[in-house]
Structure 1
Amino acid sequence: MSTRSHAPLIRLARFKVEELQKQMADIDRARAAIADQIERLEASVPGEQAAASESKEGYLAYGSYARSVIQRKENLRASEREVEVQAGELRERLETAFGELKKYELLEERRVARIEDAVRAAEQAEMDEIAGRMRRAAH
């Protein structure tokens, strides 16, 4: 039965969880930024199509533009997949860190409960001793 506090382990585990949560927030921001870039790229296509249809030069240049848009979207989708893989790995690490934190918190709760039980038992033993003395003195 350990009487040492688990507070240092809890602080360390909580710090680890918080750091991983910050990293997850960074990944979420990266994911949103990529989605925003894809959306803006797709939104630009109709305007470019309309501009291309107005002149022969625009029509000829549109092919180049369309290929660059397709390539850029492919690159963004690849980045998106990469970020998703990182998010999955980070999520697993976060779940593990959170599990460790909960384990240490539970151990600390049990340690405190054992101490409280021991104190109550000692107090009860003292009260029983006092009651026994009073009974003996009364007889």
Structure 2
Amino acid sequence: MKSRDSLIRLKRFQVDDKRRQVTQIETMIADFERMADELDRQIVEEEQRVGVTDIAHFAYPTFAKAAMQRRDNLKGSVDGLKEQLASAQSQLAEAFEELKKVEMLEERNVERERQSENQRSQAEMDSIGLAMHLRAG
């Protein structure tokens, strides 16, 4: 019984850990996307301030070029994190399935034990009833 309880606790811990990983990756993706959007806004503002939107133009702002590079790096990181997220979600689903299997096995074992106890109890009551019937008769 203790080993089953320990196994269930372990599986629940694994599910919780995978859930935390998924949440952490989702948070990082949201943060990086927010930062990339902010850089996009800054690029547009800088282009409007200088009046040059052609990247190839000699007067294109250096700040805007650097911001573009940072934005592109963030978007690349987001793409990599999305791959990690898909993997983490898959691992979470697997861990959840394993937990459900262990919980279902535990429920079956508990039900079997309950039925066995009921049968023992009924057999005991039957023998008591038979003994009383024999004494009375």
Q: TM-score, normalised by structure 2?
A: 0.86
Match of 2:106 among 108, 133, 136: 108
Q: Matched residue pairs, number?
A: 133
- Name the counterpart of 2:75: 77
- SS of the residue corresponding to residue 127 of structure 2 reads helix
Kindly provide the amino acid, as one letter, of the partner of residue 31 in structure 2: A
Query: What are the ranges of 5 or more consecutive residues in structure 2 without an aligned counterpart?
Result: none
Give the equivalent residue in structure 1 for 2:41: 43
Aligned to 1:90: 88
- The match for 1:53 is 51
AA paired with 2:109?
Answer: R
- Rounded to whole Å, the distance in 1 between the matches of 2:136 and 2:65 is 104
Name the aligned partner's letter for residue 116 of structure 2. A
CA deviations on 1:63-105 (whole Å, 9 max, x unpaired) are: 4344333322221211111000000111111111111111111
- 2: distance between equivalents of 1:66 and 1:95? 42
Percent identity of equivalent pairs: 33
Deviations 1:85-128 (A, max 9, x none): 00011111111111111111111111111111111000100111
**1:124 pairs with one of 81, 105, 122:** 122
Q: For the Cα contact (< 8 Å) 2:19–2:92, is it kept in 1? A: yes
Structure 1 unaligned regions, length at least 5? none
RMSD, aligned α-carbons: 2.1
Q: Which residue pairs with 1:64 in the alignment?
A: 62
- Measured after TM superposition, the shift of residue 60 of structure 1 is 5.2
Partner Cα separation in structure 2 for residue 21 and residue 112 of structure 1: 28
Match in the other structure for 1:134: 132
- In 2, the alpha carbon distance for the partners of 1:138 and 1:129 equals 14
- Determine the C-alpha separation between the residues in 1 that align with 2:59 and 2:101: 62
Question: How far 1:61 moved relative to its partner?
Answer: 4.5
Q: What's the TM-score once normalised by structure 1's chain length?
A: 0.85
1:14-25 to 2 correspondences below 5 Å: 14-25=12-23
Contact 1:6 1:107 (8 Å CA) reproduced: no
